[in-house]
Structure 1
């Protein structure tokens, strides 16, 4: 088996149910529907920080928002700390 492709789709202030594959009759999202049907769609996801910059920092660092790397809208991330991209690159992914 080959390594799966990983695609992060991040949008600001986007309700996860506002897609047609989530049974919203008011929108048409054929491309997102296809991605969801061929991959993974998280219906019960959790973000430990409701603000976009710290939330994205937690995704790519693996750390909680209160511990850094992005807290109060400024970057306190240390270059020596492993990131999601570094770990994936070590596993053979192109990041």
Structure 2
């Protein structure tokens, strides 16, 4: 798996922090893009995310997932412990509220 990002971008940092809390940072390859140089706007990257935004998670089969919360939810589903999206209804609602 690869995550296309720019380390200083806020949404990419959200994914990195989430993976760190899960203990999964070493399970993913990070590919640094230079947004100032437009590396996110080339045809190859637009095939991964037509909106040319980061972060993007590329799975081993080539499937791409964009949007930081969607990426985090994917990793949460694969690695439910520790739960970072809440277990009980109130926890889940509060976490969703904080994210928005």
Q: TM-score, normalised by structure 1?
A: 0.24
Q: Which has the larger radius of gyration?
A: 1
Higher strand proportion = 2
Higher RCO, 1 vs 2 (CA within 8 Å, ≥6 residues apart): 2
